[in-house]
Amino acid sequence: MGKKKVIKQTEEELLKEGQKAESADKKESKAEAPSRRITEGKVYISSSYNNTIITLTDNQGNVLGWVSAGAIGFKGARKATPFAASKVAEAVWQIIQKLGIQKLSILVKGIGGGRESAIRSFTSKGLDIVSIADMTPVPHDGPRPRKARRV
């Protein structure tokens, strides 16, 4: 592979991009104004053997933000550790602070190692936790048994 050409922008182009970014920020702040009135939310913790994903929604189920251990930067087997789950919960807590949510309902699903540590990190942040529910699917009858062996 050859050398890569680095394109340098002039000062005028940088100023134009800065003005575009400022106008976009103003539009986003207007769009976020209604969402800041949200005081209650739901946190869905999906913990598997491979990853931990935490999703923040309002009471109607509209997603406000989500973070996973892989998105933070953990790779491989470290994604499923309790430490990674606590870091994911901290990242979601920052989103919660930006939106101004005070009350949370936590819904946990899965059998991974990050379940408990994610819940503990939310409780240690001082949020008002209304409920904690376990939604892990449990098999009730299992698969059909094999046919009898004929000898």
Strands of the chain (E only): list them. Answer: 40-47, 52-57, 63-68, 103-109, 128-134
In order along its 151 residues, the chain shows pLDDT tens digits of 566 666 666 777 767 776 766 666 665 555 554 545 788 999 999 999 999 999 999 999 999 999 999 999 999 999 999 999 999 999 999 999 999 999 999 999 999 888 999 999 999 988 889 999 999 998 888 888 899 999 8
Strands of 24-78 (E only): list them. Answer: 40-47, 52-57, 63-68
Walk me through the domains of the chain, giving residue ranges and CATH numbers.
Answer: 37-134 (3.30.420.80)
pTM higher than 0.95 = no
